[in-house]
Amino acid sequence: MAARKDAEIRRAGRMERYHITRHHLGFDSCVLVAAQYHSSSGTLGPLTLFPALAHLIHTHAALSVHLTGDLFHNPAFSRLPSIDLSLVVQFVQEEHTLQQVAEDQLSKAFDTSSNVLPLWRLVVLPNGLVFFAYHHAIGDGMSGLAFHRGLLAALNTPFTFTSDTIVQVPTNITLVPPLEHLTPTSPSPTKLFKTIFNLYAPTSWTRRVSAWTGTPVSYSGSLRINIKFIEFTPSDITQFKKMCREHGTTLTAAFHALAVSALASLLDSSDDDVNSASVVGSMKKGKRYKYISIYIPISLRSFTKTSPDAMCDHVSAYHTYTPLHSYLPLPLPASASLPCKDTPNPTHDLTAFWSQARILSQKLKENKARSRQETGLLKFLFGDYEGFFRDKVGKKREGGLELSNVGSLSPSPTTAPSPPTTTSPTTVPCPTQPSTQWQIHKVYFTQNDVVCGAALKMNVVGDGLGGVNVGVSWGEGLGEEFVRRFREAFAFVLGGGVEV
């Protein structure tokens, strides 16, 4: 097959450059969304999966590009002439756990120097679990759900398959524009002044000095990360969501209050195995942490008018210094283990807990539009994204906790929509062939920016059965006992939770 010269589609936008630079420095690897596919007949082998993937490649331009140009100063997205699915899809025959595959994938960066590999890959397990790993520059967290929705619909669309595993990429593909081309992102003078002050003022003048952010930023060349997934059943979550509605708050805000309460109890602990300097960072003798520095990613798709079924990097974040206070009857005894079906003492006054959740919920609503300014601030790096990240090494980490909720995997169309291109030579619609009805049950979400990201991450996603799964991840700076106690305390309040 004769290769066609790749063509530049467009230059990377500001948020895309942010993620390209961070990856190119070795500070992060990928975003990962895994989904478990079930069918009454058939398995996810090449003959089933490859036609569906070929359809997706024609539907989502982000799956057909690689990076070109100077990745530090002038990166661009260029079209690959073709994609060899045998190079990006791995079928694993041996039994592996969810945690093993997730940690393995998140430890691997993409080869952005390749002129044949796209910025994504798949791992397929015998039990139907499909891991979609992708470069953050081609997709935010919601993009992982968009991929699996599209794949599910394509699997339920009848196709015939030829023996060629190479998908020709259409010449007329177009990427979703960068977010600054679709919505105003310029920071206000007040926002700009506050940002400059926080950058250059002595740390002792800011709340950051007394905020828990884990251990300082360090880089050893490793992207090693630890992950634990906690599953909450539909019944557990349905009841908790009902309580959230009754108290005028959201699941994200309530999870935030739960996480803060758990961390506050741990950071106040006198147990040296839990609360050591190597685990929680350092404070001057006699001083105590007053806040937790928390980042909550916010989707900007409602402002860019971008469909939830699109793949793009349209995200910002809300940052808050939350007072370090436990609003719940914690901590748990050290001997506690999951699953724990006990519930908090019903006589305990939870007014403060729900008040804290309600306040954050309101702040998130109020700051959603303003969060666009966070991405606009990148303009004032004047192209020096590399220096921005390198300057973080050796300094106090900016975030102690990141709480990211991408929502639930909403129902898909019965069959896949036609792509905005001509039909691929490798995928030919066959209306007379009966469709195999596939379903998605469990969904899991996680990511890795372990070098300079928040010390502790919680990635939340709703699955196809009505449950919620939380991916808890952390780097080498936090101890296993500290994070174990955190997970137990968090799950305890919801009345259960099973680690997988």
Tell me the per-residue pLDDT of 434-467, one tens digit each, with 9 for 90 and over: 445 899 999 999 999 999 999 999 999 999 888 9
Which of these ranges, 118-122, 160-164, 308-312, 412-416, has the smallest mean pLDDT? 412-416
- Return the biggest CA–CA distance within the chain: 75
Given a cut of 80, whether residue 405 has pLDDT beyond it is yes
**Residue 417: what pLDDT?**
57
Given a cut of 80, whether residue 67 has pLDDT beyond it is yes
Closest CA to 212 of 281, 126, 310: 281
| Residue 371 phi, psi dihedral angles, 5° rounding | -65, -20
Strand partners, 101: none
Closest CA to 131 of 34, 228, 52, 29: 34
Residue 400 CB coordination number (10 Å) = 27
Amino acid at 448: N
The answer to whether domain 7-179+406-442 and domain 184-405+445-499 are alike in fold is yes
Q: What percentage of the chain reaches a pLDDT higher than 90?
A: 67
User: Residue-wise over 263-276: b if at least 16 C-beta within 10 A, else e?
Assistant: bbbbbebeeeebbe
Q: 109: Cβ–Cβ under 8 A, 6 or more apart, which residues?
A: 23, 26, 28, 29, 30, 223
Distance linking the first and last C-alpha atoms of the chain:
44
Band of residue 331 on the pLDDT scale cut at 50, 70, 90: low
Q: 399: Cβ–Cβ under 8 A, 6 or more apart, which residues?
A: 213, 293, 294, 295, 319, 453, 454, 455
* Domain locations in the chain as residue ranges: 7-179+406-442, 184-405+445-499
Separation of alpha carbons 282 and 121, rounded Å: 39
Q: Are 106 and 99 in contact (CB under 8 A)?
A: no
**Residue 345: what pLDDT?**
44
Given a cut of 50, whether residue 232 has pLDDT beyond it is yes
Given a cut of 60, whether residue 396 has pLDDT beyond it is yes
**Residue 281: what pLDDT?**
59
Band of residue 343 on the pLDDT scale cut at 50, 70, 90: very low
Specify the residue for token string 């619609």: 429
Regarding pTM above 0.85, the answer is yes
CA distances to 373, 377, 381 from 189, rounded to whole Å, are 11, 11, 16
Three-state SS annotation for the chain: CCCCCCEEEEECCHHHHHHHHHHHCCCCCCEEEEEEEEECCCCCCHHHHHHHHHHHHHHCHHHHEEEECCCCCCCEEEECCEEEHHHHEEECCCCCCHHHHHHHHHCCCCCCCCCCCCCEEEEECCCCEEEEEECHHHCCHHHHHHHHHHHHHHHCCCEEECCCCEEECCCCCCCCCCHHHCCCCCCCHHHHHHHHHHHHCCHHHCHHHHEECCCCCCCCCCCCCEEEEEEECHHHHHHHHHHHHHCCCCHHHHHHHHHHHHHHHHHCCCCCCCCCHHHHCCCCCCCCCCEEEEEEEEECHHHHCCCCCCCCCCEEEEEEEEECCCCCCCCCCCCCCCCCCCCCCCCCCCHHHHHHHHHHHHHHHHHCCCCHHHHHHHHHHCCCHHHHHHCCCCCCCCCCEEEEEEEECCCCCCCCCCCCCCCCCCEEECCCCCCCCEEEEEEEEEECCCCCCCCEEEEEEECCCCCEEEEEEECCCCCHHHHHHHHHHHHHHCCCCEEC
- The domain 7-179+406-442 belongs to what CATH superfamily? Chloramphenicol acetyltransferase-like domain (3.30.559.10)
Closest CA to 391 of 200, 110, 206: 200
Specify the residue for token string 């980490």: 397
Mean pLDDT of the chain: 86
For 260-285, the pLDDT digits (tens) are: 999 998 988 655 555 554 455 555 54
Q: Are 295 and 319 in contact (CB under 8 A)?
A: yes
| Residue 385 phi, psi dihedral angles, 5° rounding | -65, -35
Is pLDDT larger for residue 340 or for residue 419?
Answer: 419
Separation of alpha carbons 384 and 6, rounded Å: 27
Cα 419 to its chain centre, rounded Å, is 26
Q: 411: Cβ–Cβ under 8 A, 6 or more apart, which residues?
A: none
Stretch 298-304: mean pLDDT: 97
What is the CATH number that goes with domain 184-405+445-499? 3.30.559.30
Q: Label residue 43 exposed, middle or buried (CB < 10 Å: 0-12, 13-18, 19+).
A: middle
Q: 463: Cβ–Cβ under 8 A, 6 or more apart, which residues?
A: 408, 409, 440, 441, 442, 443, 469
**Residue 270: what pLDDT?**
55
Task: Give the dihedral sign, CA 94/95/97/102.
Answer: positive
For 105-147, the pLDDT digits (tens) are: 999 999 999 999 999 999 999 999 999 999 999 999 999 999 9
Which of these ranges, 285-294, 439-448, 482-491, has the smallest mean pLDDT? 285-294
Strand partners, 499: 230
Cα 327 to its chain centre, rounded Å, is 27
Stretch 275-301: mean pLDDT: 75
Which of these ranges, 65-79, 243-257, 419-433, has the smallest mean pLDDT? 419-433
